[in-house]
Amino acid sequence: MKQLAIMKNVGIGMRDMHRPGLWFTAYTSENSASLQILDWKKAGKLIQETGIYDVKKFEGQPCWVEIEGGIVRYIGPWKL
């Protein structure tokens, strides 16, 4: 099921994936959130699609996620 989420706690760096990436917590409601980690290729696509070049400005931005079997997966940025 496709659902709108809000990006919070945005960061960029190595984290625990041993290579650079972008991460954020996708909040689908006040009490439901999921950590999302994008590799460099997906992070670059997100930056190009949104035109947001300072990752701190992703804080509070809406995005689409897919929820399937309790798994939350980032789909893409919200667009008009």
Kindly report, residue by residue over 9-47, the tens digit of the pLDDT.
Answer: 999 998 777 889 999 999 998 888 999 999 999 999 999
Q: Which pLDDT score, from 0 to 100, does residue 18 have? A: 85
pLDDT surpasses 70 at 80:
no
Residue 31: predicted pLDDT: 84
User: CA 68, CA 13: separation in Å to the nearest integer?
Assistant: 28
Contact 26, 36 (CB under 8 A): yes
Residues 9, 49: Cα–Cα separation, whole Å: 20
**Confidence (pLDDT) at 56:** 94
Cβ(44)–Cβ(53) below 8 Å: no
